[in-house]
Amino acid sequence: MIWYPYEQMKTMKAPYKILDAEGVYLYTKDQKLIDSVSSWWCMIHGYKHPELTAAIKAQADHFCHVMLGGLTHDPVEKLSAKLQEFLPGDLDYCFFSDSGSVAVEVSLKMALQYNTNQGRKRPLVLALEHAYHGDTFKAMEVGDDEDYHFAFDQKEGVMHIPTEIPALEEAFAKYHDRLNCFIVEPLLQGAGGMRMYDIGFLQRARELCDQYDVLLIFDEVATGFGRTGHRFVADLVLPDILVLGKALTGGYIGHAVTVANHKVFQAFYSDDDRKALMHGPTFMGNALACAVALKGIEIFERENYMAKIQRIEEISRREMADFTDPRIREVRIMGGCTCVEVYDSADLEGFQQFAYERGVFSRPFLKYMYSMVPYVIEEEELVKIFDVMKAWFRR
Ligand SMILES: *Cc1c(COP(=O)(O)O)cnc(C)c1O
């Protein structure tokens, strides 16, 4: 039996069974649904995109996977070269992994070892309140092989601050000589409640990180590839390490990448084996994933997705302008994300089924009703999503 995510299995309602999917649509036995959440925010090109499917098929005719330990191949070489050119600044060193959570783990290990490799003890991580960086827990710690662990023995803990400059300055003033990194979901905190904040906070963070040689990590697993209305938030403020996932493969196969800049890479580059990064997911650099990611980036550029996202934001603002209800605390919009936050989560109970019956797949959580649409959505489809959201409050 399937154990479903984030659900109390005893009380969960039966999931909708998908028989087919194409473009922005999911098909069940009796419904055609606009996927308003892009399958957990990753399906930016829509389903069954002929070019993406063809890229996977073509690679599968050669091989689906080979390990990256001691082997390499064209798709992974081409993807790392493409990312090097596509990503801003000197974010040039791509460490691949199979999921966003693992890629975040890699970034944190990099930040810690960046310091131990230079003989510095920097055991603390600074993060944001309401942060979400994945679900992994303790795999390495329960392992028992000194060769894999020694570089990470110093880790101590995490401190959380709100997205406010005074709190940021205070944290750096107090702890700067103990911090190895500051990790953030830049501009848009997704799973923590679609919280949006100002670029000024990140600019100040960059200054402080430079001043104290603390690595700045952007977890753009959710925000990368245009979701905030910027290609990457890293285009605005350059991090030392950038983590990408979700839309990297257009949602076709799970894959992620941790991209380091020259400064980080140089701290590992040595004649000393003990300064190497001891990490290696079985499926890193998977050939199908790399092939589809390459094709996805090609389409993203060729079809001018940034203009599509700008249009999505304009329509979202137009449709949600002046929409209020006593139960709504706030409507927030940024790029391809719209969030309606209510005061009481009970006010969203039943919305998923309500939307289903009207041809929209939605998955509200806690106090948040939101859309994170595929970028290929047409205006009338997008308007329909907002109509269904508004109808829920007017019923
Ligand atoms: C989804 C997400 C992750 C985790 O990615 P998985 O592929 O689910 O492991 C990490 N960080 C952010 C910001 C995310 O939104």
41: left (phi > 0), else alpha (psi -120 to 50), else beta? left
What tokens appear for 307 in the block? 């203009």
pTM of the model: 0.97
The three-state secondary structure class of 157 is strand
Which of 43-52, 138-147, 184-193 shows the lowest mean pLDDT across its residues? 138-147
User: What distance in Å separates the CA atoms of residue 163 and residue 174, rounded to the nearest whole number?
Assistant: 17
Q: How confident is the model at residue 203 (pLDDT cuts 50, 70, 90)?
A: very high
* Tokens 């330990």, located at residue: 69
Q: How confident is the model at residue 312 (pLDDT cuts 50, 70, 90)?
A: very high
pLDDT of residue 152: 81
pLDDT of residue 155: 74
Structural contact between residues 134 and 104, judged by C-beta atoms closer than 8 angstroms? yes
Which residue has a Cα nearest atom 3 of ligand 1? 134
What is the mean predicted confidence (pLDDT) over 136-155?
80
341: left (phi > 0), else alpha (psi -120 to 50), else beta? beta
Please state, in angstroms and as integers, the Cα–Cα distance from residue 33 to each residue in 25, 132, 358, following that order: 5, 28, 8
Count CA atoms within 13 Å of residue 9 on its CB side. 5
Strands 241-244 and 215-219, by their bridges, are parallel
131 Cα–ligand 1 center, Å: 11
Structural contact between residues 187 and 197, judged by C-beta atoms closer than 8 angstroms? yes
Non-local CB neighbours of 343 within 8 Å, separated by 6+ positions: 327, 328, 329, 367
pLDDT of residue 150: 78
Sign of CA dihedral 172, 238, 308, 357: negative
Please state, in angstroms and as integers, the Cα–Cα distance from residue 152 to each residue in 111, 146, 149, 235, following that order: 10, 10, 6, 31
Q: Between 199-212 and 165-175, two packed helices, what is the crossing angle to 10 degrees?
A: 10
What is the mean predicted confidence (pLDDT) over 146-169?
88
Pick 317 or 140 by higher pLDDT.
317
Ligand 1 nearest atom to the CA of residue 101, by list position: 9
**Best residue among 102, 132, 370 to mutate for probing ligand 1, ranked by most atoms within 8 Å of CB:** 132
The three-state secondary structure class of 18 is coil
End-to-end alpha-carbon separation of the chain, Å?
A: 37
Which residue has a Cα nearest atom 5 of ligand 1? 100
388 Cα–ligand 1 center, Å: 27
pLDDT tens, 328-340?
A: 999 999 999 999 9
The three-state secondary structure class of 217 is strand
Write the burial class of residue 121 (CB in 10 Å: 0-12 exposed, 13-18 middle, 19+ buried). Answer: exposed
User: What distance in Å separates the CA atoms of residue 172 and residue 274, rounded to the nearest whole number?
Assistant: 30
User: What distance in Å separates the CA atoms of residue 27 and residue 308, rounded to the nearest whole number?
Assistant: 24
Q: How confident is the model at residue 162 (pLDDT cuts 50, 70, 90)?
A: very high
What tokens appear for 33 in the block? 């649904």
pLDDT of residue 143: 85
What is the mean predicted confidence (pLDDT) over 192-215?
98
Please state, in angstroms and as integers, the Cα–Cα distance from residue 99 to each residue in 15, 110, 263, following that order: 23, 17, 25
What tokens appear for 344 in the block? 């009481």
Q: How confident is the model at residue 139 (pLDDT cuts 50, 70, 90)?
A: confident
101 Cα–ligand 1 center, Å: 5
What is the mean predicted confidence (pLDDT) over 171-185?
97
What is the mean predicted confidence (pLDDT) over 242-269?
98
pLDDT at 314 over 80: yes
Q: How confident is the model at residue 156 (pLDDT cuts 50, 70, 90)?
A: confident
pLDDT of residue 73: 98
pLDDT of residue 241: 98
Which of 43-52, 57-66, 155-164 shows the lowest mean pLDDT across its residues? 155-164
Q: Which DSSP string do the residues of 56-101 spell out, in sequence order?
A: HHHHHTT-S---SSS---HHHHHHHHHHHHHSSTTEEEEEEESSHH
pLDDT at 147 over 80: no
pLDDT tens, 250-263?
A: 999 999 999 999 99
What is the mean predicted confidence (pLDDT) over 288-305?
98
Ligand 1 nearest atom to the CA of residue 256, by list position: 7
Pocket around ligand 1: residues whose beta carbon is below 6 Å from it?
Answer: 99-101, 104, 132-134, 185, 190-191, 219, 221-222, 245-246
Q: Catalytic residue positions?
A: 6, 132, 219, 246
